Amino acid sequence: MDVASAVKSMLAVRVYQDRPIADEVVTRIVEAARLTGSSRNRQDWDFVVVRSRDTLQKLGTLASTGPFIADAALAIAVVVPDAPVGYIDGARAAQDMMLVAWGEGIGSNWVGNMNKPEIKALLGIPAEKMVLTVIPFGYPAKKVGAGRKERKPLAEIAHDETFGVAYSG
Q: Which of residues 134-163 bind its own copies (CB under 8 A)?
A: 147, 149-152, 154, 157-163
Find out whether 78 and 93 touch, Cβ atoms under 8 Å.
Answer: yes
Spatial distance between the Cα atoms of 85 and 61, rounded to a whole number of angstroms: 29
**Least separation, in Å, of the C-beta of 144 and its own copies?**
13
Does the footprint of its own copies cover residue 68 (CB under 8 A)?
A: no
Nearest to residue 92, comparing CAs of 145, 38, 131, 146? 38
* Residue 15 binding its own copies, by CB under 8 A: no
Site residues (CB under 8 A) for its own copies, limited to 70-129? 79, 84, 87-89, 91-92, 94-96, 99-100, 102-103, 110, 112, 123-126
Selected binder of its own copies within 12, 20, 64, 116 (CB under 8 A): 12
Q: What is the CA radius of gyration of the chain?
A: 17
131: enclosing H helix or E strand: strand 129-138
